[in-house]
Amino acid sequence: MRAQPEQGLRHALIDAGQMPRGGAYIETKTRLAPTRMSPLLVPQIIRLFLLSTLVLLASCQSGGMRGQTQYLEAFPSNTVPHSAMYNADQVSYWDGDGVGGAASIVIDLSDQKAYFYKGGTLAGVSALSTGDEKHATKTGNFKIFEKDQWHKSNLYGDFVDGAGTVVMANIDVTKDKPPPGTRFEGSKMHHFMRFSGGIGMHEGFLPGYPASHGCVRMPPHMAAIFYNNVAKGTPVTVRP
């Protein structure tokens, strides 16, 4: 006689030690009843979906900015977009307080860092963003010949309206024409230390790669430290 499936399963469980001999095997079957969404919930779900979509679209829009030029800006830290593309600046530091000796600066274009020395002792390091491929920062030996704490660019910036709202961003006054009713607002280059023609070190946005029109952008706190520790005549070496 051919064993029934239930008997075969019972023998298998006994052999595996999962059921004592003489024990009973009870098979249970559970059937799940299909569920239906209440018609009253559908409109609510649709409304929630539309609301979340509108919020997302609003967050992606970029409206005009007031009083905040963009090109070579020293962006406040709370307005800089958070992205892996942007430099988190984990290399800058200052150990120069109390260190004596004449100041000198070495700007290294290959590793995008500035090295501040006092009497030959390394006093601090700053992350940088130097000139891009079309506006390479000039290499050589220079000296700081101008300091301007609240410097603004006279070439690059934004066209803004009477209320200070940016109408046309990231412009070059030699190429772009102002829209009617606007004025030029030069990009902030605070703690400016000029060392070659129109080129200098200053506060600026660091995207993590060379991106300026030739100037040397620095994190705001490091630009302030360098500015307060140099004088006119401080040697600056820019190396490839």
Contact 110, 123 (CB under 8 A): no
* Size (the chain), residues: 240
Output the CA torsion 136→141→143→144 (10° steps): 20
Quick: pLDDT tens for 19-60: 445 444 444 444 444 445 555 555 565 555 554 444 333 332
- Determine the Cα–Cα distance for residues 133 and 142; give it in Å rounded to an integer: 21
What is the Rg, in whole angstroms, of the alpha carbon atoms belonging to the chain?
33
- Determine, yes or no, domain membership for 209: yes
User: Closest Cα to residue 118, out of 2, 228, 215?
Assistant: 228
- Determine, yes or no, domain membership for 44: no
pLDDT beyond 70 at 237? yes
- Determine, yes or no, domain membership for 137: yes
Average pLDDT, the chain: 76
- Determine, yes or no, domain membership for 219: yes
83: Cβ contacts below 8 Å, ≥ 6 apart = none
For range 156-179, the mean pLDDT? 90
Instruction: Supply the pTM of this predicted model.
Output: 0.62
- Determine, yes or no, domain membership for 186: yes
Region class of 76: left (phi > 0), else alpha (psi between -120 and 50), else beta: beta
Number of domains the chain contains: 1
- Determine, yes or no, domain membership for 21: no
For range 59-76, the mean pLDDT? 37
Q: Which domain holds residue 163?
A: 77-239
- Determine, yes or no, domain membership for 2: no
The CATH number for 102's domain is: 2.40.440.10
For range 139-143, the mean pLDDT? 98
- Determine, yes or no, domain membership for 184: yes
Position 143 confidence tier, pLDDT thresholds 50, 70, 90: very high
User: Closest Cα to residue 104, out of 94, 119, 89, 90?
Assistant: 119
| pLDDT score of 90 | 83
Decide: helix, strand or coil at residue 20: coil
